[in-house]
């Protein structure tokens, strides 16, 4: 089956992988596309042959299928940590297993690499309730922004939620802007063509309504972020 991905706010349902993904944009991933991007981050780390890597795998048993690769990563990089739930795999030299005892990251599949020249994070959260890995669907993004990678490494769950809230709000603001641009264009056209039937004060009134809708985001955006950061 072909690996598929779709931008979460896209109007079309085409496979985003066909044209390449954009960093800092949220996408829906099937299991195959998630693993493909995951391996791409691992490959970058192996090419750098230095630095540290954190992998959040949901359940530890999944790592057994990747044992050879993670043995190679552990021998190549300075530090490799794998976070998950369930039975901890057999020891791998120079690899640290961290149990997610509270289940704070049980829905997350993420890989974060910090090297001397490249920093990258691919972070995703399971979006359905499937138990079988192949049936799972995820929502997430990747980034090469060093400061964002550091924030995700420091508190993955909280920062992921924060980034999702900001992204969703930004998309709503952009839609609002588009609606107001269209409304303004119609109002200007009426002002030009309708003459006495559309007075200047009506134009000003409609303009103020649109501006007020946009100004509301001045207070709404901080509240959204505060709600996430308070969790």
Element (H, E) at 31: helix 31-48
The predicted pLDDT at position 1 comes to: 55
Nearest to 82 by CA among 48, 108, 111: 111
What is the average per-residue pLDDT within 52-79?
A: 95
Please report, for residues 45, 53, 112, the alpha-carbon distance to residue 78 in angstroms, rounded to integers and kept in the order given.
11, 9, 14
Identify the band that residue 10 occupies on the pLDDT scale cut at 50, 70 and 90.
low
- How far is the C-alpha of 35 from the C-alpha of 25, rounded, in Å? 18
pTM above the 0.85 mark? no
Q: Please report the pLDDT score of residue 168 as a whole number.
A: 84
| Beta-ladder partners of 124 | 109, 140
Torsion of CA 44, 48, 51, 55, to 10 degrees: 20
At 73, the pLDDT band (50, 70, 90 cuts) reads very high
Q: Measured between alpha carbons, how far is residue 138 from residues 19, 73, 109, 145 in Å?
A: 19, 25, 8, 21
What pLDDT does 25 receive?
A: 93
Topology of the domain comprising 5-148? Endonuclease; Chain A (3.30.870)
Q: How far apart are CA 187 and CA 200, in angstroms?
A: 10
pLDDT tens digits for range 179-224: 777 777 777 777 677 766 766 777 667 777 767 776 676 677 777 6
Q: How confident is the model at residue 231 (pLDDT cuts 50, 70, 90)?
A: low
Instruction: Confirm if 29 and 135 have CB atoms less than 8 A apart.
Output: no
How does pLDDT run across 76-135, given as a tens digit for each residue? 999 999 999 999 999 999 999 999 999 999 999 999 999 999 999 999 999 999 999 999
Give me the residue spans of the domains in the chain: 5-148, 164-229
pLDDT at residue number 187: 73
The DSSP element (H or E) to which 172 belongs, if any, is helix 156-193
Mean pLDDT over 61-70 rounds to 92
Could you report the per-residue pLDDT of 135-189, keeping only the tens digit for each? 999 999 999 999 999 999 999 999 999 999 888 888 787 777 777 777 777 777 7
Question: 196 exposed, middle or buried (CB, 10 Å; 0-12, 13-18, 19+)?
Answer: exposed
- What is the arithmetic mean of pLDDT over 38-45? 96
């Amino acid at each position: 089956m072909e690996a598929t991905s779709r931008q979460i706010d896209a109007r079309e349902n085409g496979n985003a992988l066909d044209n390449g993904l954009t960093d800092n944009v949220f996408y829906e991933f099937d299991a195959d596309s998630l693993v493909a991007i995951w391996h791409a981050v691992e490959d970058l780390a192996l090419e750098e042959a230095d630095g540290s890597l954190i992998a959040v795998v949901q359940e530890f048993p999944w790592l057994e299928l990747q044992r050879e690769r993670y043995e190679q990563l552990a021998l190549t990089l300075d530090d490799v940590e794998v976070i998950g739930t369930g039975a901890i795999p057999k020891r791998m030299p120079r690899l640290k297993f961290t149990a997610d005892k509270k289940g704070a990251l049980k829905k997350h599949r993420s890989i974060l690499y910090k090297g001397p020249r490249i920093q990258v994070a691919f972070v995703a959260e399971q979006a359905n309730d499937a138990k079988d890995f192949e049936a799972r669907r995820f929502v997430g993004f990747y980034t090469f922004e060093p400061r964002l990678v550091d924030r995700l490494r420091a508190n993955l769950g909280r920062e992921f939620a924060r980034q999702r809230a900001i992204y969703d709000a930004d998309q709503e603001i952009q839609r609002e802007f588009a609606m107001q641009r269209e409304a303004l264009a119609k109002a200007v056209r009426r002002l030009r063509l309708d003459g006495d039937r559309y007075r200047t004060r009506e134009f000003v009134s409609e303009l103020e309504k649109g501006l007020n809708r946009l100004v509301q985001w001045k207070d709404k955006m901080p509240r959204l972020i505060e709600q996430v950061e308070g969790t």
